[in-house]
Each structure stands twice: as C-alpha cells, then as structure tokens.
C-alpha cells in the first residue's frame, strides 16, 4: 500500500523574490511510500518549500526551497528517521511539475482500485473467502492513499490531518473486523470457500493492477511519488497472486485454512498501513 501525495507547491522563487536553493537530505529510515507521506505532511506547513523530490531507493530527499534549510532539517529530524544533510546548493534552473496531469493519473488509478475493492469485497462474502475480503481492503487502502493525494492538494494543514485521521481510523476498523472474522472462522466449522470465485476474481484484480502499472508507466513521469506508486502497485500484484495460490490450495486440500492464512497476512498489512496513516494526523 502506498503510500502517495502530490508534490507540495508553495510558489516560485520569483514570487518571493528570493533565490531558489536545492538541498539534499539522506533519510536512512525512509524505505516505503508511507514514510514519504509522513515527511510530506510534516513539511507541508513550511511556505518556503517549492517542491519535494523523493528517491526512496537511495533514501534521499531533494528539497527546492527559498531561505535556509534549518527549519526543514528540524522537522525532518523530529520524525526520528535518521536524517542527515548531504549538500545544499543554489538551484540554477527549476520547473514545477505538471500537477494537473499527475492529478488526472491519480484519479484514474484511484478509480480502478476502488472498483476492485467493491468487486472483491462483494464476491469475497458471497464465496465465503476471507482472502478475497482482505485483498479488497488492501485495494481500499490504496484508494485511501490515492484519495489523500488528490484531495489534500491545495488544502490547509488541518484539512490534511483530518483526512488522514478519518482514513486511518476507518481502515483500522476494517482490519480489526477482518481479524475477528478470521478468528471466528478458525474456531467455527465454516464452509470451504468457493475456490473458483477466488481464482477468477483475483485474476481480474491482477489485470486491474496491471492496468494501473500500465497507466503509471505510460505517463513516463520521473516524479518520485509516481515511481513509488508503481512499486506499491507491484506489491499489490503479489497479494493477488497470494489469493490465487490460496484458491488453488483450497481446491487441493478441500480446507478453508489456506484462505484464512492468506487473509490474516493481508489483514496484517492493512492494519500496518492504517497505523502509518494515523501518524500523519499527529
């Protein structure tokens, strides 16, 4: 789940009549889109920041800003992600990204994720498959993150925090419900899930995630949050394959245990994502 917000724009250097600076920080504990989102929220109140460029693979953050970087470094340090300064130089040239194009792309990916959330949730209950239900909530988690990215653009800090808090508690509530249902089904003598539905719907979800990857790659965007979205969607493909494998094992063993085990694993991922989202609201 990924965690992804659109770039922060606080105006151009010309607007402030000050030279633009390019400062690079190394953030050792930044290893997924959730940390990226936390950093964006932490820095969103600083009006001297023009944009943020994340390189999660190399654990680096490039900040284009005016004035000095002291406040930026202090806020990063408050997150306890082991932040250090790499360098800070004058930005000879700088151009803002095409936010409208990226916003449209995020809307498309959000719509696909939400569509498959509804499909997997419905068929999951119909087929008695907790793995499908769990995977649907994973798709919902993606939709929430994309929604945060779209709706928080141009909003106030308080609005962004309220959105994050509501989304986090909602996702956590669903995860708790999922865990309790899995425990109940482990104890009770439940009907074996319909493996055919598990496999067919998961294949469709796999196609949906493949379409998301295609749209993200087609954009040819080098923006870090779009690149992170591709990584996050690739991880969703793994979850889809897990549900397909669970369906095959249900068929081979005539047992609901493979379904419950995969469901538990995905619910854990959803809960972990919810806690990370809630951190954004603090």
Per-residue pLDDT tens over the stretch 100-135: 676 778 788 888 988 999 999 999 999 999 999 888
Contact of 24 with 84, CB cutoff 8 Å = no
pLDDT at 160: 58
What topology is assigned to 99-280 in CATH? Alpha-lytic protease prodomain-like (1.20.1510)
Contact of 136 with 117, CB cutoff 8 Å = yes
Stretch 84-91: mean pLDDT, rounded?
Answer: 91
- What tokens does 166 get? 């509501």
Query: SS3 of 211, please?
Result: helix
Could you tell me the strand order of the sheet in which 21-27 lies? 49-55, 60-65, 21-27, 83-90
13-90 and 99-280 share one CATH topology? no
- What tokens does 48 get? 């001297």
Stretch 251-280: mean pLDDT, rounded?
Answer: 83
**pLDDT higher at 276 or 53:** 53
Of 163, 195, 136, 180, residue with least CA distance to 281? 163
Whole-angstrom distance, CA of residue 135 vs CA of residue 121: 8
pLDDT at 269: 78
Q: What is the pLDDT of residues 1-43, one digit of tens each?
A: 443 333 333 333 444 457 888 999 999 998 877 788 789 888 8
- Output the CA torsion sign for 233, 238, 240, 241: positive
Sequence spans of domains, the chain: 13-90, 99-280
> Running DSSP on this structure, what letter comes out for residue 222?
-
Q: Which residues contact 94 (CB under 8 A, 6 or more apart)?
A: 12, 13, 20, 22, 50, 64
**13-90 CATH:** 3.30.70.100
Of 96, 85, 84, 28, residue with least CA distance to 56? 28
Q: What is the pLDDT of residues 138-186, one digit of tens each?
A: 888 777 767 766 665 544 555 656 666 777 787 788 888 888 888 888 8
Whole-angstrom distance, CA of residue 157 vs CA of residue 172: 22
Whole-angstrom distance, CA of residue 223 vs CA of residue 66: 21
Whole-angstrom distance, CA of residue 118 vs CA of residue 68: 47
116's enclosing H/E stretch is helix 99-126
Whole-angstrom distance, CA of residue 266 vs CA of residue 261: 9
Q: What is the pLDDT of residues 196-245, one digit of tens each?
A: 999 999 999 999 988 988 887 777 655 555 555 666 677 678 888 989 99
pLDDT at 187: 84
Contact of 250 with 198, CB cutoff 8 Å = yes
């Amino acid at each position: 789940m990924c965690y992804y917000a659109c770039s922060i724009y606080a105006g151009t250097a010309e607007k402030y009549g000050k030279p633009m600076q390019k400062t690079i920080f190394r953030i050792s504990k930044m290893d997924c889109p959730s940390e990226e989102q936390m950093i964006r929220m932490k820095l969103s109140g600083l009006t001297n920041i023009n944009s943020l460029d994340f390189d999660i693979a190399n654990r680096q953050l490039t900040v284009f800003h005016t004035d000095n970087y002291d406040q930026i470094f202090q806020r990063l340090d408050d997150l306890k992600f082991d932040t250090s300064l790499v360098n800070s130089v004058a930005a000879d040239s700088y151009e803002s990204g095409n936010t409208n194009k990226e916003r449209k792309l995020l809307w498309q990916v959000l719509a696909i994720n939400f569509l498959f959330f509804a499909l997997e949730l419905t068929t999951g209950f119909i087929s008695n498959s907790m793995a499908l239900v769990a995977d649907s909530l994973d798709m919902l988690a993606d939709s929430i993150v994309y929604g945060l990215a779209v709706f928080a653009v141009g909003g106030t800090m308080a609005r962004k925090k309220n959105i994050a808090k509501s989304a986090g508690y909602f996702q956590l509530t669903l995860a708790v419900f999922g865990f309790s249902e899995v425990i109940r089904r482990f104890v009770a003598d439940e009907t074996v899930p319909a493996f055919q539905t598990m496999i067919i719907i998961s294949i469709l979800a796999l196609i949906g995630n493949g379409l998301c990857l295609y749209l993200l790659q087609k954009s040819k965007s080098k923006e870090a949050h779009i690149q992170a979205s591709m990584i996050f969607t690739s991880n969703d493909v793994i979850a889809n394959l897990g549900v397909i494998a669970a369906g095959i094992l249900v068929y081979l063993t005539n047992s609901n245990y493979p379904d419950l085990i995969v469901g538990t694993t995905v619910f854990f991922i959803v809960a972990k994502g919810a806690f990370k989202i809630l951190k954004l609201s603090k």
